[in-house]
A and B are shown apart, each in its own frame.
Chain A
Amino acid sequence: MVKQQADVVIIGAGIVGTAIARELSRYSVSVIVCDQGADVASGTTKANSGILHSGIDAAPGTLKAKLNVRGFALYQKMHAELGLDIKFTGSLIAATCREEIAALEELAMRGRRNGVAGDIRILSRAELAAKEPGLSPAIPAALWVEAAGIVCPYGAAMAFARNAIRNGAAFLPDCKVQKVVSEAGRVVGLETTRGFIKCRYVVNAAGLWADDVSRSCGDDSFVIRPRKGEYILFDKSVGNLVNTVVFPTPGRVTKGILVAPTTHGNYFVGPNAQDTLDKGDLATTREGLEEIVSGARKLIPSLPLAGAITQFAGLRAVADGGDFIIRPSDKVFGLFHAAGIQSPGLTAAPAIAEMMVELLAEAGLPLTPKQCFDPVEPRPKRFRELSYQERDELIRANPLYGRIICRCEQVTEGEIVDAIREQCGARTLDGVKRRTRAGMGRCQGGFCSPRVAAILARELNMPLAAICKDGAGSALFIGKYSGNEVHEHV
């Protein structure tokens, strides 16, 4: 049954919404996270660079600077607690010409002012060559920033959601908030596509749509504009492209086109920055892909383009002023915004959550710590990470771990069934993919997608033709038909 009442409803199950839910689940308050998408992390959180930024380039004194540095520190703790896919690789910010070296020195100073921990220093050519052999010889110097890393962004959001649910929060997918309802200037609930939800506090973590949510109750204090960033992802087999996250010297608008490893052993280049009017415009373009290739080549000249396995795009939620908007609404009491969360929003999310909880407490939400709060989230079983001995034991306990479904990433049927059966489990092909990596490999689901779809149909007791790739309307297959008549084969 859908729980239609809570102390706090969080709109948006991206990294920000799920981090806030997890933070709130420490206390004796009831929490619902709702999302218009079919799954956790179906917005910006599913497609971004996945970098744990150091906080070196944010303007001192901004929320971005403060929350980035704090968020980075929190990930170091949550890494083990929540079994996240994280690697603390450090990063290099490269000067592409001599003139940019001065900018690097300035950045280093700014980083220290922002409180960035660890080693920050300019490396010589010799040190660079040792650290990143593939780096362009035309790069005269680069700034080494130790406090940086990579994270699987949707994996982190899922772990946050999983742990919040373990501690009592509820997740409502396919639940679009149509209106924040207030009476006498106070929030009383939400009108949604899944009915009315009664609540006194609402957190607006709706990403690209945060302005629409806000406007629904007359608060038009900010506007969100989408800015697209495109990527090319490379196969693991391309070899050691880079060891660290390699940035160019940042421009005015973005951190620039970078080359980085992922936590799963792939590599990527991107993103560019292209303003668009459409909040659903996730299309890549030929020009965009060419732009990121030529940008990335300035850092790493020999890109293994033949090893590309996919291209994708993400949308930044850009607000006027450029800083994060984290504050109560000045129109309606009980509504709190976490809006304009563009980069480094992923890194800052745990710190945004802490700040949001403080704001809620200040506004009178009683927050009594729960005795039974369990901060630990066991990592889902991953066949490919186990020794042969451990795999053998796992299969004895459950034979489904003995059947490989995704050959590229070695994902077993047991893991896929777990992903479907877990609390707020996968209901779509992409949901399984983001939880287990089935379909993320070099054949991009060519082999496993029909098999995964069949397992979804079996587990969810649905006809195969009803199984979707992602959201509504994305059915994978059509019931067999001939003579223009569609027969559903179950």
Chain B
Amino acid sequence: MFEAEYDVVIVGGGPAGMAAAVGAAQNGAERIALIERDDELGGILQQCIHNGFGLHRFGEELTGPQYAGRFIRQVAEYPNIEVFLDTTVLEVTPEKQVYTVNPQRGIGRFQAKAVVLAMGCRERSRGAIAIPGHRPAGVFTAGTAQRMVNREGYLPGKRVVILGSGDIGLIMARRLTLEGAEVAAVLEIMPYSNGLTRNIVQCLEDFDIPLYLSHTVTAVKGAARVTEVTCAAVDEELKPIPGTEFAIACDCLLLSVGLIPENELSRSLGIEFDRRTGGPVVDQTRQTSAAGFFAAGNVLHVHDLVDWVSAESETAGRSAARYARGLRAAAGRLVRVEAGSGVRVVVPQRIDCAAAGEYIELYCRVASPERNLTLALTAGGRTLFAQRLPLAKPSEMATLKVPKDCLGENPPEAITLVVKHADRGEEI
């Protein structure tokens, strides 16, 4: 068994893990282990060959591998970041032992002073949304198909129906069309798309691919390979409306029906989870409810832009380094941050006043599309801070820079983020 001790051990070498490693290295962690199961760093970015990454971070449009490349080079600049590839983490213990496996080193046990969880997310499968019918070949999650097309050079089908208008589904509609497959339709169960607006325009409208809003797939047909899917309109409760069924002949169904933070390893830590995000509850330093365990990126909450993943993960890496070096102050007053009316999720879910800087950045998603709204941070009916937005969609994360001062001398136990509409006469 291979054994070693590290200041910071980072589980996952995608954009979150890489930024956390850099953040830790820049903040004085001496030995950092970055553990990745794939044979290169970069995570999901390596299969995202389309552009649109890095606008916020680098002020230019990069492809996924280019964006990853910038961080891979940064990681390589720090000799104290040791990268372990082809290495899968099997278990993380509350004592901060990280068990790994690799073909050459066998089982490894990394003893860490601080751990950053950066395992990313996985795709919701057909079974999770219970699409009835046969179980032939040709039903894939969009991400799996993306990997096959972009990394292996294989198509998942020749005539494709895509369920879900999330970004991966939209990107794949364009990608498959460019590769010569025919995308017969994209179906979305909600009355609005869940993708970035620019992706709807660039991936569907530019290619005349029909988007059926408020529609779903009600059956898959085909004994060996998919031959047809049955589609139907849905009512307000998202239930298929009898009589609206129609068939689309196809040999492939791609599912882009949601991402789930991959927290299987974190479950054994006994940390607190947020049911809404599917990730751990963290404070603004991205520390979970267990001291010395940090989480960042899609394992924490599903992001739509990698730029925010990098920013958040640098914070986590910096905080992990400080913790490992014994510089973190004992927890101060903890203020719970709650998602109130109109808000689906907010991260962090608490503020540790002892660790807070001048500003606290809140990431949030609204529950449904809104125009001319105000995001208001309230406590006991009082508004502490408010920010106006012309537009917000559940698919696009909003960020809110809150001055610490607005919490006052004696911060409340809990603050709630709500959506308000000044133009409807709501008091702010």
- Determine whether the beta carbon of B136 is less than 8 Å from that of A474: yes
B372 located at the interface, meaning its Cβ lies under 8 Å from any Cβ of chain A in the complex: no
Q: Is the CB of A484 within 8 A of B123?
A: no
Contact A474 B267 (CB under 8 A): no
**B101: nearest residue on chain A (CB-CB)?**
A402
A284 touches B133 (CB 8 A): yes
Asked whether B141 lies within 8 Å of A283 as measured between CB atoms, the reply is no
A139 sits at the interface (CB 8 A): no
Cβ contact within 8 Å between A282 and B134: yes
Apart from A310-B127, A391-B101, 8 more pairs, CB < 8 Å? A285-B133, A403-B86, A410-B90, A468-B224, A470-B224, A478-B157, A479-B155, A480-B154
Query: For the complex, is A446 an interface residue (Cβ under 8 Å from B)?
Result: yes
Q: Which residues of chain A have C-beta atoms less than 8 A from B333's C-beta?
A: none
Q: Which residues of B contact A265 (CB under 8 A)?
A: none
Q: Which residue of A lies closest to B157 (CB)?
A: A478
Chain B CB within 10 A, most for which of A446, A470, A481: A446
A268 smallest CB distance to B (angstroms): 12
Query: Which of B19-27, B49-57, B144-152 is the contact stretch?
Result: B144-152
A309 pairs with B225, CB closer than 8 A: no
10 closest residue pairs by CB, A with B:
A473-B224, A310-B127, A399-B103, A402-B103, A469-B137, A482-B180, A477-B154, A404-B88, A474-B224, A474-B137
On chain A, the residues within 8 Å of B101 by CB distance are 391, 395, 402-404, 412
Docked pose: A284 CA to B132 CA in angstroms: 5
Closest residue of chain A to B119, judged by CB? A407
CB A484 to nearest CB in B, in angstroms, measures 7
**Contact A446–B155 (Cβ < 8 Å):** no
A389 to chain B: closest CB distance in Å?
7
A312 contacts B by Cβ under 8 Å: yes
- Given A310-B127, A312-B135, verify A392-B106 contact (CB < 8 Å): yes
Contact in complex: A483, B180 (CB < 8 Å): yes
Tell me the bound Cα distance from A147 to B422 in angstroms.
68
Whether A396 pairs with B106 at a CB distance below 8 angstroms is: yes
Q: Give the total of A residues in contact with B, Cβ under 8 Å.
A: 61
Q: Give the interface of A toward B (CB within 8 A).
A: 232-233, 237, 280, 282-286, 288-289, 306, 308-312, 388-389, 391-392, 395-396, 399-404, 407-408, 410, 412, 442-444, 446-447, 449-450, 454, 464-465, 468-484, 489
Interface presence of B219 (CB below 8 A) = yes
B327 located at the interface, meaning its Cβ lies under 8 Å from any Cβ of chain A in the complex: no
Within 8 A of A (CB), among B224-282: 224-225, 240, 264, 267
Q: Which residues of B contact A (CB under 8 A)?
A: 1, 37, 86, 88, 90, 99, 101-107, 109, 122-123, 125-128, 130, 132-138, 140-141, 143-144, 147-149, 152-158, 179-181, 218-219, 221, 223-225, 240, 264, 267
Q: Which residues of B contact A449 (CB under 8 A)?
A: 144
Is A280's CB under 8 angstroms from B223's CB? yes
Residues in B neighbouring A470, C-beta threshold 8 A: 137, 224
Pairwise interchain contact B125-A309, C-beta atoms closer than 8 A: yes
Cβ–Cβ < 8 Å partners of B104 in chain A: 399, 402
For A232, what are the chain B residues with a Cβ–Cβ distance below 8 Å?
A: 130
How far apart are the CA atoms of A471 and B222 in the complex, in Å? 13
> Can you list 22 contacts pairing A with B, beta carbon distance less than 8 Å?
A233-B127, A282-B134, A283-B134, A283-B219, A309-B127, A310-B125, A310-B127, A311-B130, A389-B1, A389-B107, A391-B106, A399-B103, A403-B86, A403-B102, A443-B122, A443-B123, A446-B141, A450-B148, A473-B223, A473-B225, A476-B138, A489-B153
B160 CB, min distance to chain A CBs, angstroms: 11
